[in-house]
């Protein structure tokens, strides 16, 4: 699915990166712990998180994650927005809670990648 | 990529969680420009970032030296923090001494050191209580 599909499924809004809406997303990861996210190496992923600080953007930069969905209506600050633009990471914000947002995307066929070994 | 060896050195400031990761970001950008394959750039970036964050949250900042040669990328992260009492224990997935305020910032899952080991070809930790910690990691170019 694309970033735009994710936006539509979650009824989310673009904060950054509407111009990248047609980029393909292959896998997803949902976590509030950044080292959990960093344990997961997959191409063209989306991160769903309720954590909202600059290290979320940094983590995605290191991982080449192309889209972040902030759940529970979290909104990034100016510094985060600037960094996301610079690193070409799209940001969406959704009012759904983590479990619901992940479930909605899973239902539409998005998967989380292999088990942690 | 040419055959030269390139050294990049960074000072990681203490107590500045917002700036943690700047060195790793800079290295990532430079490796990409040098034409290092994306998978290798990502492994180096993740491993170095975990180490850089550890220097900020568990120690008092420190220094990072990255040496890029045609064969490998060598990272040496040195701090003068409290040191690690039991390295085997620290290496276990899930082991963390991070306090709640660090956890609320998204760190302290006890996954950093195991991630660093997973993403690198060689990793060594030297640590002395009250003196500091040096983490050496290598990622092979092929
Ligand atoms: N540079 C360091 N100086 C002192 N202690 C350290 C250092 N790096 C790691 N440690 C110790 O090793 C433990 C495990 O480190 P690790 O990076 O695996 O987990 P964490 O940093 O606690 O959590 P996470 O990395 O998942 O955010 C830490 O909680 C800390 O006690
Ligand atoms: Mg850590």
Which pLDDT tens digit goes with each residue over A77-102?
999 999 999 999 999 999 999 999 99
pLDDT computed for residue A115 by the predictor = 78
**Average pLDDT of span A13-25:** 98
Name the residue facing B111 among A39, A41, A51 (closest C-beta). A39
Tell which one of B17, B58, B79 to mutate to probe ligand 1, the residue whose CB is within 8 A of the most ligand atoms.
B58
- Report residue A66: phi and psi, to 5°: -100, -10
CA of residue A30 relative to chain centroid, distance? 8
Q: Which of the residues B109, B114, B116, B117 would you substitute to probe the A interface, choosing the one with the greatest number of A C-beta atoms within 10 Å?
A: B109
B112 Cα to the center of ligand 2, angstroms: 4
Number of domains in chain A: 1
Q: Could you give the CA distance from residue A80 to residue A57 in angstroms, rounded to a whole number?
A: 7
- pLDDT band of A114, cuts 50, 70, 90: confident
Phi, psi of A84 (to 5 degrees): -65, -40
- Please tell us whether the domain made up of B6-140 is placed in CATH 3.30.565.10: yes
- Is residue A115 domain-resident? no
- Considering the entire predicted model, what is its pTM? 0.96
Task: Kindly state whether B56 is in contact with chain A, defined as any CB-CB distance less than 8 angstroms.
Answer: no
Locate the domains of chain B by residue range.
Answer: 6-140
Residue A32 lies in a domain: yes
B113 touches chain A (CB under 8 A): no
Asked, for residue A58, whether it belongs to a domain, the answer is: yes
- Give the H or E element holding residue A47: strand A45-49
Q: How confident is the model at residue B19 (pLDDT cuts 50, 70, 90)?
A: very high
Q: For residue range B81-137, what is the model confidence (pLDDT) as tens digits?
A: 999 999 999 999 999 999 999 999 999 999 999 999 999 999 999 999 999 999 999
């Amino acid at each position: 699915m694309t970033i735009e599909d994710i936006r539509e499924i979650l009824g989310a809004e673009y904060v950054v990166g509407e111009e990248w809406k047609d980029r393909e997303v292959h896998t997803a990861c949902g976590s509030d712990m950044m080292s959990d996210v960093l344990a997961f190496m997959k191409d063209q992923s989306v991160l769903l998180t309720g954590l909202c600080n600059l290290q979320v953007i940094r983590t995605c930069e290191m991982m080449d994650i192309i889209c972040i969905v902030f759940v529970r209506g979290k909104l990034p600050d100016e510094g985060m927005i600037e960094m996301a633009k610079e690193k070409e990471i799209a940001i969406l914000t959704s009012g759904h809670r983590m479990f619901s947002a992940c479930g909605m995307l899973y239902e539409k066929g998005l998967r989380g990648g292999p088990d942690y070994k | 990529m040419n055959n030269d060896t390139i050294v990049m050195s960074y000072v990681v400031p203490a107590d500045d969680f917002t700036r943690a990761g700047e060195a790793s970001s800079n290295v990532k950008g430079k490796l990409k420009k040098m034409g290092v394959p994306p998978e290798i750039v990502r492994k180096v970036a993740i491993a170095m970032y975990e180490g850089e964050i550890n220097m900020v949250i568990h120690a008092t900042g420190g220094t990072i030296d990255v040496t890029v040669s045609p064969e490998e990328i060598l990272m040496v992260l040195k701090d003068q923090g409290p040191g690690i009492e039991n390295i085997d224990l620290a290496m276990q997935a899930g082991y963390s001494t991070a306090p709640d305020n660090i956890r609320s910032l998204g760190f302290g899952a006890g996954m950093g050191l195991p991630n660093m080991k997973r993403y690198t070809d060689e990793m060594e930790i030297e640590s002395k209580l009250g003196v500091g910690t040096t983490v050496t990691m290598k990622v092979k170019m092929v």
